[in-house]
């Protein structure tokens, strides 16, 4: 009896040692070498998909590549190159999916997104002959050419109107909350974010339009430098349609309120500073930062790191004006209208 018990114990110990010494299987690795996620391509071009694979503790059993739901590659090699002919594809976002399976049948899944567009759009570089623009305070801003439009690449932070008058700076929340929703209660502030960067000024609508266009030199100039102006709804619509992967600027999509487009917001957002991994690809070069906004009700600065909202020059009524917004959670652009005493950012566009 003792011999049987002893034998059983030996088997249990050997089994324990065997299983405790067995290494945990390491998952295979799939690396996208090309293209980078967020890249846009013209329909009709050949898109080269290049992947590398390895298994740290074994070997690759199978490699599968999908474009959306279409299976395009199956291989056992450690490298895979696929030339995607896009002549017959539709414009829009496409998900490139890689599934790597090792010799223990463990799988790793990884994906990127790219876009196909109907027309070649020039964007991201400085405006020809105008790489920078200087405001009345001496602040220097970079420019960016997006399609046929020349935009400032940064939010305005000027503290004076084009005629030299000072824009009233309001520091206390209750003072801001007491501002009226009209074209004469002008105010601004220059918030400093927690990590020490200035995302630009926040302005009431009256300040943004130059106190009802009385303190600038040209109709619609607002607080923008000479030769530039506060963009209208129409100019924002052109910007959105230029960068969006699916909806062109003349599409009905841009005529409604709310969150619009497919990925215009993602392409306008800067590649950093946005909370909750909500940064964009910034392939447009617009470099939108999450400056937040100042509430017309409480006077508090809210949603820094999460949202950014810009005034347009287009009014809806005596109390409301139209705006554009971006959010860290959403890849679209918001078209809205709100109280004129709200504190929003300002971008300028060349005349």
Q: Pairing relation of β-strands 107-117 and 40-42? A: parallel
The closest alpha carbon to 205, from 188, 219, 221, belongs to 188
Nearest Cα residue to 100 out of 114, 116, 112, 111:
111
Distance CA 142, CA 134 (A): 9
According to the model, what pLDDT value does residue 95 have? 92
pLDDT at 274: 92
Q: How far is CA 80 from CA 75, 107, 249, 278, in A?
A: 7, 17, 37, 31
Nearest to 315 by CA among 185, 182, 226, 216: 182
Q: What is the pLDDT of residue 195?
A: 62
Q: What residues form DSSP beta bridges with 52?
A: 31, 79
pLDDT at 190: 93
The b/e string for 221-247 (b: 16+ C-beta within 10 A; e otherwise) is bbbbbeebbbbebebbbbbbbbbbbbb
Architecture of the domain spanning 29-117: Sandwich (2.60)
Q: Where in the chain is the domain with CATH 2.60.40.10?
A: 29-117
pLDDT at res. 7: 54
Which residue, among 155, 136, 168, has the nearest Cα to 341 in the 3D structure?
168
Q: How high is the pLDDT of residue 265?
A: 95
Q: Per-residue b/e over 141-169, b at no fewer than 16 CB within 10 Å?
A: bbbbbbbebbbbbbbbbbbebbeeeebbe
Local mean pLDDT, 10-residue blocks, the chain (351 residues) = 50 48 73 80 84 74 87 82 88 86 82 78 84 96 95 97 94 95 90 73 95 72 94 97 89 94 93 85 92 95 95 94 96 96 97 92
Confirm if 40 and 86 have CB atoms less than 8 A apart. no
| pLDDT at res. 106 | 82
Q: Where are the beta strands (DSSP E) in 223-298?
A: 228-229, 258-260, 293-294
Q: In whole angstroms, what is the distance from residue 291 CA to residue 295 CA?
A: 13
Looking at residue 24, what is its pLDDT? 83
CB 241 within 8 A of CB 252: no
- Strand pairing of 140-146 and 132-134? antiparallel
Looking up tokens 């002549």 gives 87
pLDDT at 4: 52
Phi/psi for 215 (5° steps) reads -120, 20
In this prediction the pTM is 0.70
Q: ω into residue 334 within 30 of 0, thus cis?
A: no
Q: For residue 254, what pLDDT is reported?
A: 94
């Amino acid at each position: 009896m003792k011999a049987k018990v002893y034998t059983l114990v030996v088997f249990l110990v050997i089994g324990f040692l065997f299983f405790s010494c067995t290494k945990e299987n390491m998952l295979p690795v799939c690396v996208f070498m090309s293209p980078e996620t967020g890249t846009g391509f013209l329909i009709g071009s050949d898109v080269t998909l290049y992947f590398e694979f390895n298994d740290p503790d074994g070997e690759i059993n199978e490699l599968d590549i999908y474009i959306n739901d279409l299976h395009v590659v199956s291989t056992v090699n450690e490298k895979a190159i696929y030339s995607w002919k896009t002549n017959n594809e539709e414009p829009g976002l496409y998900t490139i999916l890689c599934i790597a399976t090792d010799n223990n049948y463990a799988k790793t899944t990884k994906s990127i997104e790219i876009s196909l567009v109907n027309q070649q759009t020039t964007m991201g570089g400085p405006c020809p002959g105008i790489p920078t623009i200087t405001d009345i305070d001496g602040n220097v801003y970079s420019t960016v050419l997006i399609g046929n439009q020349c935009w400032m690449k940064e939010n305005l932070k000027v503290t004076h109107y084009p005629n030299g008058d000072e824009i009233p700076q309001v520091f206390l929340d209750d003072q801001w909350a007491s501002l009226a929703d009209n074209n004469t209660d002008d105010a601004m502030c220059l918030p400093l974010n927690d990590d020490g960067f200035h995302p630009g000024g926040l302005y009431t609508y009256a300040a943004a339009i130059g106190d009802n266009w009385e303190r600038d030199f040209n109709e619609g100039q607002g607080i923008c430098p000479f030769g530039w102006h506060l963009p209208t709804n129409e100019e924002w619509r052109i910007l959105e349609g230029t960068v969006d992967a699916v909806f062109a600027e003349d599409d009905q999509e841009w005529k409604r309120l709310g969150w619009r487009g497919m990925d215009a917001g993602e392409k306008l957002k800067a590649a950093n500073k946005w909370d909750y991994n909500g940064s964009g690809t910034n392939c447009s070069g617009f470099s939108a930062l999450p400056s937040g906004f100042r509430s017309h009700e409480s006077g508090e600065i809210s949603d820094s790191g999460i949202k950014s909202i810009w005034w347009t020059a287009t009014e809806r009524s005596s109390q409301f004006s139209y705006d554009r917004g971006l959010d860290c959670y959403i890849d679209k652009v918001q078209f809205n209208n709100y109280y004129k005493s709200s504190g929003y950012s300002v971008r300028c566009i060349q005349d």
